[in-house]
C-alpha cells in the first residue's frame, strides 16, 4: 500500500516551500518602502530567491546518488526554517538578500528530492499525484497576498516568522513519518550522476529550453504583477494584490486537472498547447484595461501557466528510466530554475530603465511564442529527442 501519510506530509511541506517563494511578489512594494530602494534592487532580491532555488539543484542531484531522497527533503525543511529566520530579522539590503538566497536553496533541495520520490511512490499515476502535490503548492500562492495584507497590519517580518515556525513543525512531523515508511526499490537506484546526464542530455535540453523559457516569462510577470496593475492600469494596491491572487487561485484547479489530463493525452503536444495559451493570454492582458477583462485574463494566465508545471514534471519523470531519474531530473530542474530566476531581474531593470510594463511583457510573450512554434515544428517533423537508457 502506498504511504499516504508520507505523501500528505510532503504536501504540507510543499505548501510552505512555495509560500516562501511567492510571498515576495506582494511584498515588492512594502520592501521597497522599508529599505528605501527601487524596483531594480527588489527585483534582484526576488531573483536571488529563484537563483538560490536553481544553483544547488545539480549538486543536490549528485547528493541524491548517495543520500536517500527523504533525508534531503528533511534537510530542506530544516534549512527553510533557519533561512526564514534570517529574513525575519534582516536589517539591511544585504541581510535581506542573504535570507532570500538561503530560502531559495531550501526550496531547491525539496523539489529535486520530493518530485522523483513521488513519481516512484506512485508509478502508475504520476501525473495525478504530482497534480495533487502541485495543488498544495498552489494553495500557498493563493493565500500569499491575503497573508501579506494581514501581516502588514503588524509588520512584513511576521510573514517570515510564521513560515519559520511552520517549517520547523512540518519537518519534525515528516521525520517521524519517514522513520516508519518503507520506500520503493526504484528510489535510489540511480548511482551514476554523470552517466545520467550523458544519456539524457537531449531530453534535458528540451525541458530547459521550453519549460525554462515559459517560467522565465511567468517569473517576470507575477513578481511585478501588483506593481504592473498599480502603475499601468491604475488599480489600488489592495486590488492589484487581489488580481495576483486571482491568477494564483486559477492555478489550484489547473494543477489538479492538468495532472489528470497529462496521464491520458499525448504529453508534449499538450504541453505546447498550454504554453501557447499562456502566450496568447499575456498578450491580451497587455491591451486590456477594464477591471472585468483584467480579472478574466488574470485567471486564464494563471490557469495556463500552472497547467504546464505538473505536465512538464510528469513528462520528464516518466521519460527518464529509474537508473537516470534523480540525476537527469536534477540537472533539468537546475537549468530550468536558473533560467527562470533571471526573469524578475530583467523586468525590474527594464522598468527602472524606463521601458513600460506593457512593452516588456509583449516582447517576452512574443519571444516565447516563437520558441514554442519552433519546438512544435520539430515535433511535427519527428526531430524531438526521447529518453534513452544507457
- Classify residue 363 by burial, with Cβ atoms within 10 Å: 0-12, 13-18, 19+: middle
What pLDDT is attached to residue 87?
93
* pTM greater than 0.95: no
Q: What is the mean pLDDT of residues 128-153?
A: 87
State how far the alpha carbon of 149 is from the alpha carbons of 23, 30, 129, 146, 166, in Å: 11, 10, 32, 5, 19
Q: Give 238-274 pLDDT, tens digit per residue.
A: 888 889 889 988 988 999 899 889 888 888 899 999 9
Q: Give 38-86 pLDDT, tens digit per residue.
A: 877 888 888 888 788 878 888 888 888 888 888 899 999 999 999 999 9
Spatial contact of 112 and 61, defined as CB atoms under 8 Å apart:
yes
Q: What is the mean pLDDT of residues 325-349?
A: 83
Distance between CA atoms of 112 and 114, rounded to whole angstroms? 6
User: 40 is written with which cell numbers?
Assistant: 531594480
Task: Please give the domain boundaries of the chain with CATH numbers for all domains.
Answer: 4-380 (1.20.1250.20)
User: How does residue 1 score in pLDDT terms, banded at 50, 70 and 90?
Assistant: very low
What is the percent of the chain with per-residue pLDDT over 90, rounded to a whole number? 40
What pLDDT is attached to residue 388?
58
Q: Give 25-49 pLDDT, tens digit per residue.
A: 788 888 988 898 887 788 888 888 8
Is the pLDDT reported for residue 185 higher than 70?
no
Distance between CA atoms of 91 and 49, rounded to whole angstroms? 18
> How many CA atoms lie within 13 Å of 222's alpha carbon, on the beta-carbon side?
31
**Shortest CA distance to 313 belongs to which of 67, 134, 62?**
134
Is the pLDDT reported for residue 139 higher than 80?
yes
How high is the mean pLDDT of the chain? Answer: 88
What pLDDT is attached to residue 190?
63
State how far the alpha carbon of 385 is from the alpha carbons of 214, 319, 377, 380, in Å: 20, 11, 13, 12
In total, the chain counts a number of residues equal to 390
Amino acid at each position: 500500500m502506498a504511504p499516504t501519510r508520507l505523501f500528505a506530509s510532503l504536501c504540507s511541506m510543499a505548501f510552505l516551500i512555495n509560500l516562501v517563494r511567492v510571498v515576495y511578489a506582494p511584498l515588492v512594494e512594502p520592501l521597497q518602502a522599508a529599505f528605501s530602494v527601487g524596483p531594480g534592487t527588489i527585483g534582484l532580491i526576488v531573483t536571488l530567491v529563484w537563483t538560490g532555488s536553481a544553483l544547488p539543484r545539480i549538486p543536490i542531484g549528485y547528493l541524491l546518488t548517495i543520500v536517500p531522497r527523504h533525508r534531503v527533503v528533511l534537510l530542506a525543511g530544516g534549512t527553510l526554517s533557519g533561512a526564514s529566520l534570517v529574513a525575519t530579522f534582516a536589517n539591511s539590503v544585504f541581510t535581506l538578500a542573504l535570507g532570500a538566497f538561503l530560502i531559495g536553496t531550501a526550496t531547491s533541495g525539496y523539489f529535486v528530492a520530493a518530485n522523483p520520490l513521488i513519481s516512484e511512490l506512485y508509478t502508475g499515476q504520476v501525473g495525478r499525484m504530482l497534480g495533487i502535490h502541485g495543488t498544495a503548492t498552489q494553495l500557498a500562492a493563493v493565500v500569499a497576498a491575503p497573508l501579506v495584507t494581514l501581516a502588514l497590519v503588524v509588520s512584513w517580518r511576521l510573514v517570515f516568522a510564521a513560515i519559520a515556525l511552520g517549517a520547523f513543525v512540518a519537518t519534525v512531523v515528516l521525520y517521524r513519518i519517514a522513520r516508519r515508511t518503507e520506500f520503493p526499490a526504484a528510489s535510489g537506484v540511480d548511482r551514476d550522476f554523470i552517466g545520467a546526464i550523458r544519456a539524457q542530455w537531449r531530453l534535458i535540453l528540451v525541458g530547459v529550453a521550453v519549460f525554462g523559457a515559459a517560467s522565465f516569462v511567468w517569473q517576470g510577470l507575477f513578481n511585478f504583477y501588483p506593481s504592473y496593475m498599480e502603475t499601468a492600469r491604475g488599480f489600488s494596491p489592495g486590488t492589484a494584490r487581489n488580481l495576483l491572487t486571482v491568477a494564483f487561485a486559477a492555478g489550484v484547479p489547473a494543477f489538479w486537472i492538468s495532472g489528470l489530463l497529462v496521464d491520458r493525452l499525448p504529453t508534449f503536444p499538450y504541453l505546447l498547447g498550454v504554453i501557447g495559451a499562456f502566450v496568447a493570454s499575456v498578450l491580451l492582458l497587455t491591451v486590456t484595461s477594464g477591471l472585468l477583462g483584467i480579472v478574466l485574463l488574470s485567471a486564464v494566465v494563471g490557469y495556463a501557466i500552472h497547467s504546464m508545471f505538473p505536465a512538464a514534471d510528469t513528462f520528464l519523470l516518466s521519460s527518464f528510466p529509474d537508473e537516470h531519474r534523480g540525476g537527469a531530473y536534477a540537472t533539468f530542474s537546475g537549468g530550468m530554475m536558473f533560467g527562470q530566476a533571471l526573469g524578475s531581474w530583467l523586468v525590474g531593470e527594464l522598468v527602472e530603465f524606463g521601458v513600460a510594463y506593457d512593452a516588456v511583457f509583449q516582447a517576452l510573450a512574443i519571444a516565447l511564442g516563437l520558441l514554442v512554434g519552433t519546438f512544435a515544428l520539430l515535433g511535427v517533423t519527428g526531430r524531438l529527442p526521447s529518453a534513452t537508457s544507457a
